Amino acid sequence: MDDDSLLDTLSTEAFERLENCGSDPLRLPEPWKTIVLIYSAQGIIDNGGFTYFFENDWPNHTPYEEFALVYERIGKQDAAIAIRDAVAAMGIENAERSIDERRAYIKRNGNDHNPSVAGWDDDAILGDETVMTSPAGWIRSQKQ
């Protein structure tokens, strides 16, 4: 099976499994958890950078560290570092549970003419087309 077919099959199954576990990606076993988190995060980031990624809550307040870990898992260390650095820049304890504080940070450090927020390096992830195909290599390495 080629990489695209593998990922199509697994992503379909992953999102079906997600519905069956109360939409909590952390309750999914691997590789489905990684696929759900990567596909969900990358879709949001590609649409609006870290501003979109951080401005709303994730289901069940998925910890941002979980997103960093799955990016690392698929070989995207720069993306993982960028997520961790953005969370650290906010200086908010349990940032994934503090929507009002995150939005206030975005408002204080962003501007209306540019969706980027000072101190955030979403360029490490934004528009990286290889993110959506990278899970295939990781999945294949797990089967060996």
Query: b or e along 103-140 (b: 16 or more beta carbons within 10 Å of the residue's beta carbon)?
Result: eebbeeebeeeeebbeebbbebbbebeebbebbbebbe
Place of tokens 């908010």: 92
pLDDT of 25: 94
> What string of pLDDT tens digits covers the 144 residues of the chain?
888 898 899 899 999 999 999 899 999 999 999 999 999 999 999 999 999 999 999 989 999 999 999 999 999 999 999 999 999 999 999 999 999 999 999 999 987 666 678 788 888 888 888 888 888 888 888 765
Assess contact for 72 and 41: CB atoms under 8 A. Answer: no
The reported pTM is 0.91
The domain locations on the chain are: 3-139
